[in-house]
Structure 1
Amino acid sequence: MNKIKLHGFNNLTKSLSFCIYDICYVKTAEERDGYIAYIDELYNANRLTEILTETCTIIGANILNVARQDYDPQGASVTILMCEEPIDSKLIDTSEHPGPLPGSVVAHLDKSHICVHTYPESDPRSGLCTFRADIEVSTCGVISPLNALNYLIHQLESDIVTIDYRVRGFTRDVKGKKHFIDHDINSIQNFMPQDMKALYDMTDVNVYQENIFHTKMLLKAFDLKHYMFHTRPQDLTAAERDAITQLLWKEMREIYYGHNIPSV
């Protein structure tokens, strides 16, 4: 797409929201408590601040303010306000792409923020535990939060990912014409590298006329040992392994499709 000659600041707001899930099976109440404590510590406010700070580095933003909080009994939140960097405009990367892993991109941001909230939880009846992290990167100006796409998906353990991308508002060119989007896009998948797309089954639900894009991702590979906490699959009977596998897959499909699936 050819660059648009703008009248003043680019007023478009681009928001990228993630909902990332990690699923685990625990055999006992002690394992459940251990998993919740482990995941809560792994993604505490300090660790999340490090992840979001690195995200700011990747997209080239200055941090104005950091607010962070750990919650009792579990969960954490971090919000960072960002602003543009005082750099040579010739060095600004205005392209839309998934960004490096790891690395850095020089960018221009203003009136922008990034935030994350975590939700560890468990079902005591079935032994299923689910960790959810909600992340939003919202920017104004010529840069897109899509530049943080690659890093954030890889940074958290991601069995299921739902992503929403929306461009809001408008910007005006030098002739007075309003532009409601400033880049080509027909799917969030356009900005994912092939190696990432190979790992997940993906479904799109897009509203093109409203500049709203939604992609759901479900990890293809399944190895039971990666979904157990302390208990080893080889210590279970074949029937137990099969039952737990079916339970985990049902949980993952319900989250992916967004509705309960009747038990057979």
Structure 2
Amino acid sequence: MENKLKLYGFNNLTKSLSFNLYDVCYAKTSREQKNYIEYVDSQYNSDRITGIMSELTAQIGAKVISISKQDYDPQGASVTFLISDDSIAAQTRRRGEDIVAHLDKSHVTVHTYPEYHPETCIATFRVDIDVATCGEITPLSTLDYLIASFSSDIITMDYRVRGFTRNVAGKKIFIDHRITSIQDYIDKRTLSKYDAMDINVYQANTFHTKMLIKDIDLQNYLFQIDPNDLPKKQRAKISSSLRREMLEIFSGKNIY
């Protein structure tokens, strides 16, 4: 992607990267559930998310045109960035007798959904991120930053390239960079922590990857509880409940 193609005329290649990220916690009592929801809601409010997305847009070389953000009652937040490619600001110019137009408006949206289920004692924090870019901007370079910004047990990602452009000889180009898997753009140290699988449709320039955390350290999943204070049998039961929740979210179906 560092070697840019020489293009002519209209470029409407659109690259869309969508994330669903899930953080799972064991919260048995109503107080623990309430405290967990309040915690993640404060950690990922609209102001914090705006800071994360500001860094993301800087990493892809985009210019922020406008920001819309909102916190919700009782919980959750949404942030939307309208962005443009700073290297080719939206313009229309005349080249001889031809009119050349760049439509480079793009967007980044984030929505958070903290929730819990009293019967399963499981609290889940879901983050939906959608990055749609036009022209030369590609969001793939932000994968490691996004994954690191949110502590996630399950990650599902969809990447699709749509539209087309032309090279100077007039040949249509339906994708302007090499990609065989989303995993190719994730640091191997990050990948080593997850079980990952792909479902790709190369003919449609559509790529899907989902990742499931390998190891469950109860210290990271018990909110305000020391696992060493719990009996061994109870720790095993909690670990089983957490793994069940993660597997079903990862699989996209009820399997127990």
TM-score when scaled to structure 1? 0.88
> How far apart, in 2, do the equivalents of 1:253 and 1:122 lie?
17
2:175 matches 1:181: yes
Q: Which has the higher strand share?
A: 2
Q: Contact (CA 8 Å) 2:65, 2:81: kept in 1 or not? A: yes
Task: Select which of 224, 240, 252 maps to 1:246.
Answer: 240
Q: After TM superposition, give the deviation of residue 11 of structure 1 in Å.
A: 1.7
Q: Contact (CA 8 Å) 2:62, 2:137: kept in 1 or not? A: no
In structure 2, the residue corresponding to 1:22 is in which secondary structure? strand
Task: Select which of 139, 144, 169 maps to 1:145.
Answer: 139
In structure 1, the residue corresponding to 2:17 is in which secondary structure? strand
Give the ranges of 4+ consecutive aligned residues of structure 1 lying more than 6 Å apart after TM superposition: none
2:106 matches 1:112: yes
Task: Select which of 178, 194, 197 maps to 1:200.
Answer: 194
> How far apart, in 2, do the equivalents of 1:37 and 1:6 lie?
50
TM-score when scaled to structure 2? 0.90
Q: Give the alignment's Cα RMSD to 1 decimal.
A: 1.7
| Equivalent in the alignment of 2:68 | 67
> How far apart, in 2, do the equivalents of 1:184 and 1:31 lie?
47
Q: Which amino acid in 1 is paired with 2:25? A: C
Q: After TM superposition, give the deviation of residue 110 of structure 1 in Å.
A: 2.5
Q: After TM superposition, give the deviation of residue 9 of structure 1 in Å.
A: 4.5
Q: Report % sequence identity.
A: 56
In structure 2, the residue corresponding to 1:18 is in which secondary structure? strand
In structure 1, the residue corresponding to 2:246 is in which secondary structure? helix
2:158 matches 1:164: yes
2:46 matches 1:45: yes
> How far apart, in 2, do the equivalents of 1:155 and 1:75 lie?
17
Q: Which amino acid in 2 is paired with 1:36? A: I
| Equivalent in the alignment of 1:82 | 83
In structure 1, the residue corresponding to 2:41 is in which secondary structure? helix
> How far apart, in 1, do the equivalents of 2:253 and 2:30 lie?
27
Q: After TM superposition, give the deviation of residue 235 of structure 1 in Å.
A: 1.5
Q: Structure 1 unaligned segments of length 5 or more: list them.
A: 88-108
Q: Contact (CA 8 Å) 2:61, 2:137: kept in 1 or not? A: no
In structure 2, the residue corresponding to 1:205 is in which secondary structure? strand
In structure 1, the residue corresponding to 2:86 is in which secondary structure? coil
Q: Which amino acid in 2 is paired with 1:246? A: S
Q: Which amino acid in 1 is paired with 2:136? A: V
Matched positions, count: 242
Q: Contact (CA 8 Å) 1:188, 1:214: kept in 2 or not? A: yes
> How far apart, in 2, do the equivalents of 1:11 and 1:86 lie?
16
Task: Select which of 130, 133, 143 maps to 1:136.
Answer: 130
| Equivalent in the alignment of 2:59 | 58
Q: After TM superposition, give the deviation of residue 112 of structure 1 in Å.
A: 1.1
1:18-73 deviation per Cα after TM superposition (whole angstroms, max 9, x unaligned): 11010000121101000001111110011111110111111121111000001111
1:121-145 deviation per Cα after TM superposition (whole angstroms, max 9, x unaligned): 1011121000000001111111211
1:141-171 deviation per Cα after TM superposition (whole angstroms, max 9, x unaligned): 1121101111001000111100100001111
Q: After TM superposition, give the deviation of residue 3 of structure 1 in Å.
A: 5.3
Q: Contact (CA 8 Å) 2:110, 2:130: kept in 1 or not? A: yes
